[in-house]
Structure 1
Amino acid sequence: NPRREQRQMFFDMVEGYGIPLITKSWKTFRPDLWESDEKEWRDEYGKEIRRLTKPYGIDLGILAGYMLWMDDETCREYDMLNLHPALPNGPKGTWQEVIWQLIREGADRQGAMLHLCTPEWDRGAPLTYCGFSIRGEGYDGLWEDLEAKLEDRTLEDIARTEGVDEPLFKKIREDGAKRELPLIVETIRSFADGRVRIQDKQLIVGGKRLDTAFDLSEEVDRSLGE
Structure 2
Amino acid sequence: MPSSSDLTKYTPLKIGWFSTGRGEGSYGLLKAGLDAIESGSLNAELAFVFVNRVKGQTKRTDRFLDLVESKGIPLVTLSSRDFRQTHENRPWSELREKFDRAAIELLRPYSTDIAVHAGYMLIAPLLCSEYITLNLHPALPGGTIGMWQQAVWDVITEGLNETGAMIHVSTEDVDEGPVLSTTKFTVRGGAFETLWNELTGTDLAMLKSDPGEKLPLFKAIREAGLLRERPLLIETIKAVASGRIDPTGSGEITDLTPEVEASIRN
1:224 is matched with: 264
Match status 1:158 vs 2:211? no
Task: Specify the code of the residue in structure 2 equivalent to 1:202.
Answer: G
**Cα gap change, 1:158 to 1:40, in 2 (>3 Å):** closer
Cα distance in structure 2, aligned partners of 1:39 and 1:156? 30
What TM-score comes out, normalization by structure 1 length?
0.82
Q: 2:114 aligns with which of 60, 81, 85?
A: 60
Deviation, 1:157, is 2.1
1:14 is matched with: 68
Cα distance in structure 1, aligned partners of 2:69 and 2:151? 36
Q: 1:39 aligns with which of 93, 101, 109?
A: 93
1:206 is matched with: none
**What does 1:75-154 align with in structure 2 at a 5 Å threshold?**
75-147=128-200, 150=201, 153-154=202-203
SS across alignment from 1:146: coil
**Cα gap change, 1:129 to 1:34, in 2 (>3 Å):** farther
Cα distance in structure 2, aligned partners of 1:141 and 1:39? 43
**Cα gap change, 1:167 to 1:13, in 2 (>3 Å):** closer
1:25 is matched with: 79
> Which is bigger in relative contact order (C-alpha 8 A, separation at least 6)?
2
User: Which stretch shows the higher mean deviation, 123-132 or 89-98?
Assistant: 89-98
Cα distance in structure 2, aligned partners of 1:34 and 1:165? 37
Match status 1:191 vs 2:231? no
> Any gaps of 5 or more consecutive residues in structure 1?
204-208
Cα distance in structure 1, aligned partners of 2:195 and 2:232? 26
**Cα gap change, 1:15 to 1:189, in 2 (>3 Å):** farther
- Report the aligned-residue RMSD: 2.3
SS across alignment from 1:112: strand
For the 8 Å contact 2:168–2:249, the answer to whether it is kept is no
Task: Specify the code of the residue in structure 1 equivalent to 2:240.
Answer: F
**Cα gap change, 1:145 to 1:9, in 2 (>3 Å):** closer
Number of aligned positions between the proteins: 211
**Cα gap change, 1:46 to 1:215, in 2 (>3 Å):** same
**Cα gap change, 1:96 to 1:52, in 2 (>3 Å):** same
**Cα gap change, 1:189 to 1:46, in 2 (>3 Å):** same
Deviation, 1:4, is 4.3
SS across alignment from 1:22: strand
Identity %: 38
Deviation, 1:38, is 2.6
SS across alignment from 1:92: coil
Cα distance in structure 2, aligned partners of 1:154 and 1:10? 40
> Any gaps of 5 or more consecutive residues in structure 2?
1-22, 24-56
SS across alignment from 1:132: strand
Deviation, 1:94, is 2.2
**Per-residue CA distance 1:142-189 (angstroms, 9 max, x = gap):** 222212xx2xx4112233211112222221111012222222222222
Deviation, 1:102, is 1.4
